[in-house]
Amino acid sequence: MERNYKVIVHGPRGEKVEVNLCRTEEQFKNMTVRQLKEKIWEKFPVFAGKNTGNRNTSNASTAKKDSSRLEKLIRKAGSVVGMKLDTLVTVAEKRALKKLLDILDTPP
């Protein structure tokens, strides 16, 4: 059965934008988090680092530093417990995918 799979994204200025993801369930199941991000970036280039306005770009460098610190903490925690832990990006992608699947499984 063919139907449109879409998400509603709240933009940086509070606007709601509908982002079409795909047309079939198989395409949706095969969609990666990266592909989802790219679809959103098409509608909101500011999320992709393609800042067109007068927004402060120091937030991006701060986020990168924070991410680096968190990755170091994860590696240390992994050595303490004696096993390799998933990276921050992997955990975030798994959570985002789980939330999207939960949303799509919930009847309106």
pLDDT in tens, 37-56: 888 888 776 555 544 444 44
2 and 50 part of one domain:
yes
Nearest to 89 by CA among 30, 33, 9, 28: 33
The pLDDT tens digits for 9-45 are 877 677 888 888 888 888 888 888 888 888 888 877 6
Closest CA to 20 of 1, 34, 38, 45: 38
- Is residue 12 located within the same domain as residue 51? yes
- Does one domain contain both 17 and 40? yes
Range(s) of the domain holding residue 76: 63-108
Q: How many other CB atoms are there within 10 angstroms of residue 60's CB atom?
A: 12
Structural domain count, the chain: 2
State the Cα–Cα distance between residues 20 and 28, nearest whole angstrom: 11
Residue bearing tokens 């395409």: 27
If asked whether residues 6 and 48 sit together in one domain, one would say: yes
- The model's pTM: 0.40
